[in-house]
Amino acid sequence: MSILFSQTIDTSFITKFEYGAMLYENPRGIGCVKCHGRGDKPVVIARYKQKDKKSKKVIEKSIIAPAINNVSFSLFIDKMTADKTESKVMPTYFLTDEELKSLYYYIKNLNKK
């Protein structure tokens, strides 16, 4: 459904913001929303315990999806085109330049809505 939708959609009917919002939820892969929530504040996506090898103490750890509404375009593009060797948590996406621009436009304008 998401694949069909984003490839055949006529974006002139909807605003750039709406198109970006749609991609945010359905970027042909796991929706950004699943980890980043609204995107305007850090979200704890997992907590786990790990034993410290030296001290033998169990420490609480967490994986946090950072707020993304203030990232620079270059960091955004870096992240969106990174592969699994660079982030162990962020999924790999295959978005077109046009899609990336709309998605970026959306996250940058989150505050204003």
Q: 25 near 31, Cβ under 8 Å? A: yes
Three-state DSSP class for 50?
strand
Does residue 27 bind ligand HEC (CB under 6 A)?
Answer: yes
At a CB cut-off of 8 Å and minimum separation 6, what does 85 contact? Answer: none
Residue of 21, 22, 32, 110 that binds ligand HEC (CB under 6 A):
32
Binding mask 36-65 for ligand HEC (x = CB under 6 A): x--------x-----------------x-x
Tokens of 96: 């077109």
Does residue 91 bind ligand HEC (CB under 6 A)?
Answer: yes
Q: How many residues does the chain have?
A: 113
**Closest approach of ligand HEC to the CB of residue 3, in Å:** 15
